[in-house]
Amino acid sequence: MHILVIEDDAATADYLVKGLTESGYVVDHAGEGRDGLFMALGQNYDAMIVDRMLPGLDGLSIVQTLRAQQKRTPVLILSALAQVDDRVKGLRAGGDDYLTKPYAFSELLARLEAILRRGTSETAVQRLKVADLEMDLLSRTVRRAGKGIELQPREFKLLEYLMRHAGQVVTRTMLLEGVWDYHFDPQTNVIDVHVSRLRQKIDRGFDRPLLHTVRGAGYSLRAEAS
Amino acid sequence: MRTGRLLRTSTFRRALIYMAPFGVLVVILFGFLYLGTLGLIDAQANATIEAEIRGLAEQYGSRGLSRLTEVIAERSGSKGEKGSIYLLTGPDLTPLAGNLNGWPSEAVLKDGWLSFEVERNEHGVATAHEIRAKPFRLAGGFRLLVGRDMAERAAFQQVIAKTLALALVITIILGVSGALYLSRKLLERVEAVAETSRTILRGDFTRRVPLAGSGDEFDHLSASLNEMLEQIEQLMTGMRAVTDSLAHDLRSPLTRLKGRIEVALRGSADAARYRETLAETIADADAILATFNALLAITEAEAGTARASMTRLELGELARAALELYEPLAEGKGLVLGQEIEDGVAIVGHPQLLAQSVANLLDNAIKYTPAGGAVSLAVRRAGERAELIVADSGPGIPAEDRERVLERFVRLDASRTSPGSGLGLSLVAAVAKLHRAELRLEDNAPGLKLTVSFDPAPPEPG
């Protein structure tokens, strides 16, 4: 996977490049807006991480230019502007996701993975399947190993989100945004309680757990243990 | 006020431009009067002269030269009409009768209308008089000249010229002084606004533009300016408050964080200890970040800029979503989470900030209510208003502290040991203020009952 990072702060860029390389990505870096846009137009990257405030050309303009050129490269926008309206502006410009600084690297990695797979995760499928766990989106039923599982509507939505991002790390913030549409962090980690409830329903009584906790990052739904 | 500035004002220039047509109008009016009157005077003189010539010629025709001489002598004598000129001469131009000394030289050969000047004695002073006359040839070679002294015409001309000059001077004086007066008045009002803005520029944000109280367009402008200044001052105060609280509340945890790292560096280089310190440092940083984010959310609500994102929303839906999020937490703590939600209670609000407020309220209620207690969330109509009520059976807040807990970072001593930034209720207060909602803290006996009372949304169109 080839990633372009456009970030002007040298220390942050260094940290991003190092972290992403360690995670198995091939990373190019541009320290300035115009160079970044030039690189993005010249090569086919799998995804881009773009800082919102850049010298030369700001991040939103880069994304807008790319989209105007019919470049569909997934873009993760990084910004110090945290208000909901700023977020909306970022997404409207054509960004696929918006992450507020400062962020945990695990959060960035999880979101990067999510936008890389966005093509598959949002298609209109009728059935989702992870190992022996099956979800029918039409009849809104869930079965594991052929056995029906009763879920509350919100639990169903939570599981759907996890199954659509199967194999990836999903952070608590992503769940709050994706399942509850809450763009703030509650004082208490309420998400953990919801996930452990869901885990009770889908994993209890089966040898192989599917819903894993990823320490310091979030959760992951996958067949094999890490 | 310096005259130079007065003369440069747009009002002054405009008043002058406005005055110019009046000046032109005065000139045109007098011109008409002048030309018209002169024409009339001339026509009258001509008619009189011609009538007299006809009459005299008749006299001559019917009664002969002697009678004509007699009549002319009579008319030009002291009894005759003043201003009439007569001269009867022989064919060789020797005067026979009349009040003119001799045939005017320029009229010897001409037969049409004549104009010439004659020296006349008036009160012992010789003055030149303009004469208008017409010669006439009588049978037998005798020549007759009848004319009129046009002194009146000249006098009239003079009067008109003087009046015109006077009228122009008066118009200019009135115009200029009116323009000066107007621009002076205007400049005074503008100066008041300019003076206020200069004072504000120097840093006194409490100054306002004075109103004349007449409700005129300047008062209107000043009132708008004052409203703007009010808003700016509020924003400035808000900014200052945020900076103060940031300085106050981020400095100490940052200092703590720095201290922890310094201590770790000073000790022996032990990887396990370093790891532990790093983990603690991340936790510290997260806590600082949480405080920072909470402050930003409060600022967003207080600044009022969030008003742009307000939409019509159902309080019930918002409450149900929050309940759903907190229900497992309450259950895990052994609390009964009750709900009493009326449908169709709509308000105009900011969805994210309201959701965060409700989440904060539930969070607090669940945090402070001991196991076995109850927390409830209600949405209902109360008369015209829409109410959202969070009640718990926890320790409650003593009446004297209820105002205080809404302030930033206030945590009552009893709760010092629970986690939290102390900003939860401040956010609720700020969001309530943003929505112009009323926030009431009451005794739930036992526990706390918190009511946010909103203005209802206007009925949906259609």
Q: Considering A96, A120, A144, which residue would you say is the last residue of a domain?
A: A120
C-beta atoms of B300 and A83 within 8 A = yes
B329 closest CB neighbour out of A85, A102, A190: A190
Residues of A engaging B, defined by a Cβ cutoff of 8 Å: 82-85, 102, 154, 180, 182-188, 190, 193-194, 197
* Among B397, B398, B399, B319, residue whose Cα is nearest residue B359: B319
Q: Are residues A68 and A38 in the same domain?
A: yes
CA-CA-CA-CA dihedral for B125, B128, B129, B133, to nearest 10: 140
pLDDT tens digit sequence for B274-300: 888 888 888 888 888 877 877 777 777
Q: Measured between CA atoms, how close is B326 to chain A, in angstroms?
A: 7
Average pLDDT value for chain B: 83
Percent of chain B exceeding pLDDT 90 equals 14
Q: Measured between CA atoms, how close is B291 to chain A, in angstroms?
A: 10
Residues of B engaging A, defined by a Cβ cutoff of 8 Å: 285, 289-290, 293, 296-297, 300, 306, 308-309, 321, 324-326, 328-329, 332, 352, 355-356, 359-360, 363, 366-367, 419-421, 424
Q: Considering A66, A89, A120, which residue would you say is the last residue of a domain?
A: A120
Q: Are residues A129 and A113 in the same domain?
A: no
Chain B hits for A151, Cβ within 8 Å: none
Helix, strand, coil % (nearest 5) of chain B? Answer: 60, 20, 25
Instruction: Tell me if A67 is assigned to some domain.
Output: yes
Q: Are residues A8 and A84 in the same domain?
A: yes
Chain B hits for A217, Cβ within 8 Å: none
Helix, strand, or coil (residue B78): coil
- Tell me what pLDDT residue A64 has: 92
CB B217 within 8 A of CB B40: no
Distance between CA atoms of residues A161 and A109, nearest Å: 17
Name the pLDDT band for B211 (thresholds 50, 70, 90). Answer: confident
ipTM of the modeled complex: 0.80
Question: Which residue of B lies nearest to A85 if distances are taken between CA atoms?
Answer: B309
Question: Which residue of B lies nearest to A175 if distances are taken between CA atoms?
Answer: B325
Phi-psi region of B383 (alpha: psi -120 to 50; beta: other; left: phi over 0): left
Chain A hits for B289, Cβ within 8 Å: 102
Distance between CA atoms of residues B407 and B388, nearest Å: 21
- Tell me what pLDDT residue B122 has: 64
C-beta atoms of B290 and A185 within 8 A = yes
C-beta atoms of A83 and B363 within 8 A = no
Percent of chain B exceeding pLDDT 70 equals 91
The CATH number for A158's domain is: 1.10.10.10
Best mutation target, A79, A81, A83, to test chain B (most B CBs within 10 A): A83
B360 closest CB neighbour out of A154, A187, A197: A187
Q: Are residues A113 and A131 in the same domain?
A: no
C-beta atoms of A183 and B352 within 8 A = yes
Question: Which residue of A lies nearest to B350 if distances are taken between CA atoms?
Answer: A84
Name the pLDDT band for A220 (thresholds 50, 70, 90). Answer: very high
Q: What pTM did the predictor assign?
A: 0.62
Q: Measured between CA atoms, how close is A152 to chain B, in angstroms?
A: 10
pLDDT tens digit sequence for A169-186: 999 989 998 898 888 878
Q: Measured between CA atoms, how close is A88 to chain B, in angstroms?
A: 11
As given in the structure block, the two tokens for residue A58 are 């700001």
CA atoms within 13 A of residue B389's CA, in its CB half-sphere: 21
Other Cβ atoms less than 10 A from the Cβ of A72: the count is 11
Q: Are residues A129 and A43 in the same domain?
A: no
Best mutation target, B288, B320, B324, to test chain A (most A CBs within 10 A): B324
Chain B hits for A89, Cβ within 8 Å: none
The CATH number for A52's domain is: 3.40.50.2300
Q: Measured between CA atoms, how close is B346 to chain A, in angstroms?
A: 19
C-beta atoms of A186 and B321 within 8 A = no
Q: Are residues A42 and A72 in the same domain?
A: yes
A194 closest CB neighbour out of B328, B359, B419: B328
- Does domain B309-454 fall under CATH 2.40.30.10? My reply is no
B329 closest CB neighbour out of A84, A180, A188: A188
Name the pLDDT band for B358 (thresholds 50, 70, 90). Answer: very high
Question: Which residue of B lies nearest to A84 if distances are taken between CA atoms?
Answer: B352
Distance between CA atoms of residues A213 and B216, nearest Å: 70
CB B364 within 8 A of CB B305: no
H/E stretch holding B218: helix B217-266
Per DSSP bridges, beta strands A47-51 and A2-6 are parallel
A182 closest CB neighbour out of B329, B355, B366: B355
C-beta atoms of A85 and B308 within 8 A = yes
Q: Measured between CA atoms, how close is A84 to chain B, in angstroms?
A: 8
Q: Measured between CA atoms, how close is A202 to chain B, in angstroms?
A: 17
- Tell me what pLDDT residue B415 has: 46
* Among A5, A93, A106, residue whose Cα is nearest residue A49: A5
C-beta atoms of B424 and A187 within 8 A = yes
Q: Are residues A108 and A134 in the same domain?
A: no
- Tell me what pLDDT residue A198 has: 94
Query: What angle separates helix A105-116 from helix A10-22, to the nearest 10 degrees?
Result: 60
Instruction: Tell me if A155 is assigned to some domain.
Output: yes
Domain with A137, as residue range(s), is: 124-221
Instruction: Tell me if A226 is assigned to some domain.
Output: no
Q: Are residues A115 and A51 in the same domain?
A: yes
Chain A hits for B308, Cβ within 8 Å: 85
Cβ-count burial B222-254 (b if 16+ within 10 Å, e if not): beeebeebeeeeeeeebeeebeebeeebeeebe
Query: What angle separates helix A190-203 from helix A153-164, to the nearest 10 degrees?
Result: 80
**A&B contacts, CB < 8 Å:** 57
Q: Considering A93, A120, A147, which residue would you say is the last residue of a domain?
A: A120
As given in the structure block, the two tokens for residue B359 are 């989440």
Q: Are residues A7 and A113 in the same domain?
A: yes
Q: Are residues A130 and A174 in the same domain?
A: yes
Name the pLDDT band for B445 (thresholds 50, 70, 90). Answer: confident
> With 70 as the cut, is the pLDDT of residue A81 above it?
yes
Per-domain residue ranges of chain B: 3-159, 218-301, 309-454
- Tell me what pLDDT residue B413 has: 46
Q: The dihedral of CA B189, B192, B195, B201: what is its sign?
A: negative
Q: Are residues A165 and A185 in the same domain?
A: yes
Q: Measured between CA atoms, how close is B399 to chain A, in angstroms?
A: 25
Q: CB within 8 A of B78, min separation 6: which ones?
A: none
Q: Give domain B3-159's CATH number out of 3.40.718.10, 3.40.50.620, 3.30.450.20, 3.40.630.10.
A: 3.30.450.20
* The total number of structural domains that make up chain A: 2
Q: Measured between CA atoms, how close is A155 to chain B, in angstroms?
A: 10
CB B424 within 8 A of CB A187: yes
> With 60 as the cut, is the pLDDT of residue B66 above it?
yes
Q: Tell me the β-bridge partners of B125.
A: B122
B309 closest CB neighbour out of A82, A84, A185: A84
Name the pLDDT band for B418 (thresholds 50, 70, 90). Answer: very low
Q: Are residues A139 and A217 in the same domain?
A: yes
Name the pLDDT band for B268 (thresholds 50, 70, 90). Answer: confident
As given in the structure block, the two tokens for residue B26 are 């005065």
- Tell me what pLDDT residue B375 has: 93
- Tell me what pLDDT residue B182 has: 86
